[in-house]
Structure 1
Amino acid sequence: MNVSSWGMIIENPLIQRKETEREEKFSPATPSNWKLLLSESHSMVKVCSPYEVDTKLLSLIHLPVKESRDYYSLTDIVANGHNLDGRIINVLAAVRSVGEPKYFTTSDRRKGQRCEVKLFDETEPSFTMTCWDNESILLAQSWMSRETVIFASDVRINFNKFQNCMAATVISKTIITTNPDTPEANILLNYIRENKETNVADEIDSYLKESINVNTIVDVYTVKQLKEKALRSEGKADPFYGILYAYISTLNIDDETTKVVRNRCSSCGYIVNEASNTCTICNKDSSRLKSLFLSFDLLVDLTDHTGTLHSCSLTGSIAEETLGCTTNEFLAMTNEQRTKLKWQFLLERSKIYLKLILSHRARAGLKVSILSCKLADPTEASRNLAGQGHT
């Protein structure tokens, strides 16, 4: 059920004129100069289904609260960069994918959740918007990848230094209109329908490759220091990043029982369930499954003189760059060739850029993704063996 289709009946509200200067920082902006105040003793709010709502009112659900031309394109946001850092603006965009809600507990024991939505338009293939409150996360779960357009009024724009890009955040002022009925939104909707199956190959990289400038990662760790930092970070949801000089100690690319290459959905980039042949993230209906592409999906162990990080994720184009071959080239190899390839990396010290996230589902409570892995310069590696990121 689309959560935005429900209506409500409000009884005995107090009607007041808005005090714009006092309220514009936190309250959602609306075209009206009036506001409703509800009291527990006199007012009542009743939620009603779409069938009980006047059909004339239902059409208002698809009208943004801001002027339909008052928005930034995604390329405008990217181009303006730091000039928009911290600004509150409006965005019109299509939904590329909706991530699963991620649950976390803060250092003071408060529970929370976040959900990352990937947006796109005619000008930009991928842009991140993060939802933190239950209402916007619930709304986002109703959006269909490459079929939904949203007008998000009053989202906050910030520069994400870890991903080296601009990103949007849903805040208390934000009002999101799903599939707005405006000329601008209809043009964008026609664009995504006409281009749904084209240029998939060009976008594969953006699905799987972390959009993080590894040059911004400077802290060097040992395995022991990374595990200690993870323990100190318990309760925090944000990822942290680091450089590790280590050996790949497990690389099962020549084991026939291990699945090294998997099918991914071209719409959202997630691994397709092989038993049902469906993408459970963006489309549960197998008859409407989008096209697929092959991608490396490896779990490797990283070892230095202080310990081992188990089951580190090495996927997509990062795996291709590391191994020096494409998925098709790898599939054409014999077992002997794959074994030879494996021994080019085993027990050879590499310089590895990592992204680490605390996760109760992951082994040892730590999910580790490899952002870059190349054989290390011996002099540079010996100079950094003690690590420094823990200071």
Structure 2
Amino acid sequence: MNDNIVLQRVTLMHLEPTIFNALIVGVIIAKQDPRQFVDSKSSDPGTSRAVLNFTFRDSPQDFINVTYWGKSDAIFAIDENFHVGDVVELVRPQITIRKYNDKGEQFRPKVTSPYSLTMNDFSNILRHDGVNEVNYKNLLRLPTKPPGFVPIRDIHNGGLAVKDTYADILGAVAHVGNLRTVKLKNGGEASLIEIILFDQTNPGIRVTFWNREYIGRASSWQPRSTILFITDLNIDWSGYHKSVVAKFSNKSILTENPVGREAEKLAEYAKTAPLHAPNIIDQLTVNLPDVQMIQNVMSVQQIQNRINLGQESGTMQNLQFTALLYGVITQLDLDGFGRLFTKKCGHCKTLIKLIGKCENATCPVALNTALVEPEISFDIRVTISDHTGTLNDCRLSGKTAEMVLDCSIQEFLQMSDDDKARIKWKYLLERCAIRLIVFSANNQKPIISIQSCSIPDGEEVVQRIPVY
């Protein structure tokens, strides 16, 4: 800073376009990646310049968008040296009245100030080391919008209708993915990271970050512990995941562990809420009934008709029903090569894939800073048939599988093939009374989950088996 220039210390609340030598102290609360372009006005062909956009706050009520223009080297240096959470001094910014119909406003965070700040080669940004630094840091936990976020359940329920809309979300971190590099349509490459947020209404929504600033910050987010309030997330539809997803946009502002009653309630819920592995996160939470209360007898054909009706009417996202099926188990591969169990990280509950270790980039087990035994549970695929048809890929899993097979997963893993075969032939090709719950998540393929399986007496079968 040039000491020969008299600067006027001013707050955002008292900005005026006539102030030319302003010094404003505050904290950076949002930041976009810089953009580089060729300077067409330069006498030196090929000269490049760049622009950096960020959002700046100095009180609970006042925050403003800042645009910093300059030579590429200078702007990229500023981008490297200043980050969200830094308390800074803005020196000699140009103060202009915002044009609400300006196209640029559509791609910037919503702010409270009627002005915007423009900085250039005659401006400066400095780190602030004053005694009041902690007061500015505290602003980082104050949401930039009043409570009014959308429950994650409601976003999923919108399906394709919510594509290309924006929503505010309050969510707890369930999973932080690994940094990935993808090829763009223009031949270039870009990095991204995906996280999963959940709340009391739904086990999760995928949120993608392309912004380098937040990709870096994601490494500190902890499953169950970190609560995020994100404004103006871009809602999209993923054909790959067959579900609603979200993208952090240039309009978004992210508040970590925000202050507020709703955030406190979510943080308390997140401590004990079940975390779903990322590959099944799009399943809806199912309210499981008492198994013995499942008495509505259905045939395979009736179950399939119910599923087909949901597909044809477009109501699969709300599909959920129970059934008591008297069917023959025609496939139960306990002693062969079929899938029998899943393995999850004992710390963060992330599904462990073929490489045999946790892949959650923030998990201490994956970082080799903690040693926690993985959790193993049954996940068996079963085929059931009756006189009307066949149900493939029915799931016998978890504690239900242990009750049906009459052994724990640990006991099963120690068994010989002969012992496993004996358990298999107790049910294989036998007519069983099988209680099922059928549900779908976000219009995906329905899940048929076995809740109990037993061998009924012949009289019960004759009296209750349906004709079709």
CA deviation profile, 1:223-266 (whole Å, cap 9, x unmatched): xxxxxxxxxxxxxxxxxxxxxxxxxxxxxx989xxxx9755235
Q: 1:18: Cα distance to partner?
A: 1.3
Is 1:60 the equivalent of 2:139?
A: yes
- Whole-Å Cα distance in 1 between the matches of residues 148 and 184 of structure 2? 36
Equivalent residue, structure 2, for 1:175: 253
Instruction: In structure 2, list runs of 5 or more residues that go unmatched.
Output: 1-82, 285-307, 309-334, 380-392, 403-407, 424-446, 448-468
Equivalent residue, structure 1, for 2:170: 92
Q: Is the 8 A contact 2:179 2:193 kept in 1?
A: yes
Of 278, 281, 284 in structure 1, the residue corresponding to residue 361 of structure 2 is: 281
Equivalent residue, structure 2, for 1:293: 375
Is 1:36 the equivalent of 2:117?
A: yes
> Match of 2:230, as an amino acid?
A
Equivalent residue, structure 2, for 1:143: 221
> Match of 1:82, as an amino acid?
L
Q: 1:17: Cα distance to partner?
A: 1.5
Equivalent residue, structure 1, for 2:73: none
Alpha carbons of structure 1 residues 339 and 137: separation in structure 2 relative to 1, 3 Å: farther
Q: 1:288: Cα distance to partner?
A: 7.5
Equivalent residue, structure 2, for 1:264: 345
3-state DSSP class of the match of 2:201? coil
Alpha carbons of structure 1 residues 38 and 107: separation in structure 2 relative to 1, 3 Å: same
The TM-score, its normalising length taken from structure 2, stands at: 0.49
Equivalent residue, structure 1, for 2:188: 110
- How many matched pairs? 275
Of 193, 196, 209 in structure 1, the residue corresponding to residue 280 of structure 2 is: 209
3-state DSSP class of the match of 1:265? coil
Q: Is the 8 A contact 1:30 1:66 kept in 2?
A: no
- Whole-Å Cα distance in 1 between the matches of residues 343 and 118 of structure 2? 54
> Match of 1:11, as an amino acid?
V
Q: 1:167: Cα distance to partner?
A: 1.3
- Whole-Å Cα distance in 1 between the matches of residues 87 and 242 of structure 2? 41
- Whole-Å Cα distance in 2 between the matches of residues 296 and 101 of structure 1? 30
> Match of 1:7, as an amino acid?
V
Alpha carbons of structure 1 residues 96 and 210: separation in structure 2 relative to 1, 3 Å: closer
Is 1:186 the equivalent of 2:268?
A: no
- Whole-Å Cα distance in 2 between the matches of residues 171 and 185 of structure 1? 22
Equivalent residue, structure 2, for 1:237: none
Alpha carbons of structure 1 residues 208 and 339: separation in structure 2 relative to 1, 3 Å: farther
Alpha carbons of structure 1 residues 320 and 331: separation in structure 2 relative to 1, 3 Å: farther
3-state DSSP class of the match of 2:140? helix
Q: CA RMSD in A?
A: 4.5
- Whole-Å Cα distance in 2 between the matches of residues 4 and 268 of structure 1? 30
Percent sequence identity over matched residues?
A: 22
3-state DSSP class of the match of 1:283? coil
1:353-372 to 2 correspondence within 5 Å?
none
Is 1:124 the equivalent of 2:202?
A: yes
Is 1:25 the equivalent of 2:103?
A: no
Higher relative contact order (CA 8 A, sep 6+): 1
Of the structure 1 ranges 183-192 and 148-157, higher mean CA displacement relative to structure 2 is found in 183-192
Alpha carbons of structure 1 residues 48 and 115: separation in structure 2 relative to 1, 3 Å: farther
Q: 1:8: Cα distance to partner?
A: 2.1
- Whole-Å Cα distance in 1 between the matches of residues 167 and 420 of structure 2? 51
Q: 1:147: Cα distance to partner?
A: 0.4
Equivalent residue, structure 2, for 1:303: none
Equivalent residue, structure 2, for 1:159: 237
Equivalent residue, structure 1, for 2:80: none
Alpha carbons of structure 1 residues 271 and 278: separation in structure 2 relative to 1, 3 Å: closer
- Whole-Å Cα distance in 2 between the matches of residues 283 and 296 of structure 1? 24
Q: Is the 8 A contact 1:164 1:212 kept in 2?
A: no
Is 1:333 the equivalent of 2:415?
A: yes
Q: 1:149: Cα distance to partner?
A: 0.7
3-state DSSP class of the match of 2:375? strand
Q: 1:156: Cα distance to partner?
A: 0.7
CA deviation profile, 1:37-69 (whole Å, cap 9, x unmatched): 111x201123468x87622111111112212x1
Q: 1:164: Cα distance to partner?
A: 2.4
Q: 1:161: Cα distance to partner?
A: 3.0
Q: 1:268: Cα distance to partner?
A: 4.2
3-state DSSP class of the match of 2:269? helix
Of the structure 1 ranges 13-22 and 281-290, higher mean CA displacement relative to structure 2 is found in 281-290
The TM-score, its normalising length taken from structure 1, stands at: 0.57
> Match of 1:29, as an amino acid?
K
Q: Is the 8 A contact 1:14 1:37 kept in 2?
A: yes
CA deviation profile, 1:90-137 (whole Å, cap 9, x unmatched): 111111111111112335331201111100111111211111121121
Q: Is the 8 A contact 1:159 1:167 kept in 2?
A: yes
Alpha carbons of structure 1 residues 197 and 6: separation in structure 2 relative to 1, 3 Å: same
- Whole-Å Cα distance in 1 between the matches of residues 222 and 175 of structure 2? 8
